Amino acid sequence: MLNIQNSPYPLVYQAANAGIAPAPAGLPPEHIQLHTSARALEGMQKEAIVENPVSGTRWRMVCDEGPYLNGTDLAPFPLGFFAAGLAASFMSEFLAEAVRRDVRIDSLSLAQDNYYTMKGSALRGTMVAGAKSVEVCFTAAGNASSAAMLDIAATAMLARSPASACLRAELSGTFAIDRNGEALAPPEQAVAPVAIPDPAAGFHNLQPVTDAPTMADIITKSGQDSISMAGAADPVGLQADQNRIVHVHTQAQLREDGIKAITAQCVQPVSTAFTFLSDDSQAVGGRERAPSGLAYLSCGVAFCFMTQLGRYAQIAKQRMNGYRIVQETGFGLARTGEASADPVRTRAFIDTEEDEQATQKMVAMGEQTCYLHASYSQSIPIRVRFTN
């Protein structure tokens, strides 16, 4: 089976030869719609292509899990992608709001903490994921007072950022299921209008773009920092009964070249830290030398759902031979009003020996135990601070 360790490519690159979906008709220019295709690799590893139909940019990324899910820890975990995406978006909107107010920013950094819950029994169908508060502290230097900087941060987070919009609104996603090539109706959920075939072919002969202004080492392993890895080998995430909190800590800094360097680490349960480089999309004046915050965020949602789908199948001993998804995420930029986010739309392609009812249950439990679908469907408190 395909895996990260045998791939000749880096963990992320701008890709050619992907079957990008056409841009939906009638979208306003301030609306960004991203299309993510993802497939399972060996073990807990996954591969995704996130595409912007308007700009034609395609980013290929891979993720893995740490020892808490018996992963090989060779690539970032799904919640790390999401945390990096949030941090990059928050910083971009802070800078945009500063420009709007004619405030000079000499330096900018961010500390962010995300908290999630997992409670219940997978075998009894009562296991549910939840998302708790997001805490963000900006540090900046420039030609404005601390009070003005705090107001810039609050406006960026609570009005300008489409990433925070997906946290503050209650956005219930929709799903569709294909089982062994046959369309099924998902239980108790509307069928998602994601009219696209199985994405498996889109990964064939996937290669990096040779003339793109991208950077090397966009995602790198940063080590464990000062956090002890003692006891980290316990695969707590595979236990059938759960009652725990997951804590992800993120540090981000704006470099002199305009790139955001973001390090995300799960500190409960403990895992390795990974550093992500991010650049804005061309739609907002960026150079796309690295994925945008919304691209990382969207991949994180896809990866997390796939992890939970595979985890439930493993715990419940369901015979799943392969699985892929296509996902649409939409975001409204704050050009004429407040930023917004659309509900996530997902189509799951399941290769399985299980019957229709068991396949529907797998997808339903994948969604029910997905931390990031919970982040979308709940209204998450966001706490903003500023320090010099």
| Secondary element (H or E) of residue 16 | strand 12-16
Domain boundaries, position 286: 12-387
According to the model, what pLDDT value does residue 24 have? 62
Q: What pLDDT shows up at residue 26?
A: 63
Specify the amino acid at residue 172: S
294 band by pLDDT with thresholds 50, 70 and 90 = very high
3, part of any domain: no
**Residue 4 falls inside a structural domain:** no
Please, which pLDDT band fits residue 64 given cuts at 50, 70 and 90?
A: very high
**What pLDDT, in 10s, does the model give residues 352-365?**
999 999 999 999 99
Q: How many domains does the chain have?
A: 1
pLDDT at position 356 is 93
Residue 264's pLDDT is what? 97
| 268 C-beta neighbours (distance < 10 Å), count | 15
For residue range 8-62, what is the model confidence (pLDDT) as tens digits? 899 999 998 655 555 565 667 788 899 999 999 999 999 999 998 877 889 999 9
What's the pLDDT score for residue 228? Answer: 44
Q: Domain holding 234: CATH number?
A: 3.30.300.20
- 354 occurs within a structural domain: yes
Q: Tokens for 89, please give them.
A: 């978006």
Q: Average pLDDT for residues 229-238, to the nearest whole number?
A: 59
The model's confidence at residue 227, banded by pLDDT at 50, 70 and 90, is: very low
191: confidence class by pLDDT, cuts 50, 70, 90: low
| Tens-digit pLDDT profile for residues 245-275 | 999 999 999 999 999 999 999 998 888 999 9
351 neighbors 58 (Cβ within 8 angstroms): no
Whether the Cβ atoms of residue 48 and residue 302 lie closer than 8 Å to each other? yes
What is residue 376's predicted lDDT score, i.e. its pLDDT? 96
- State pLDDT tens for residues 79-124: 999 999 999 999 999 999 999 999 999 999 999 999 999 999 988 9
Please state, as a whole number, how many other Cβ atoms lie within 10 Å of the Cβ of residue 358. 17
Instruction: Specify the pLDDT at position 226.
Output: 40
357-386 pLDDT tens trace: 999 999 999 999 999 999 999 999 999 999
Dig out the tokens for 281 from the structure.
Answer: 């999309």
Distances (CA, A) of 353 to 67, 183, 186, 232, 361: 28, 15, 18, 34, 14
- Whole-number pLDDT of residue 286: 79
Percent residues over pLDDT 90 in the chain: 68
What average pLDDT does the chain have? 88
pTM as predicted:
0.93
Say if 125 falls within a structural domain.
Answer: yes
Q: Which band of pLDDT confidence, cut at 50, 70 and 90, is reported for residue 230?
A: very low
282 belongs to a structural domain: yes
Q: What is the pLDDT of residue 229?
A: 44
pLDDT band at 281 (very low <50, low <70, confident <90, very high): confident
235 is a domain residue: yes
In a domain, 185, yes or no: yes
Please report whether residue 122 resides in a domain. yes
- Report, as an integer, the average pLDDT of 209-236: 67
* pLDDT band at residue 223 using 50, 70 and 90 as cut-offs: low
Q: Is 260 left (phi over 0), alpha (psi -120 to 50) or beta?
A: beta
Name, in order, each residue with C-beta under 8 angstroms of 124's C-beta and a sequence gap of 6 or more.
Answer: none
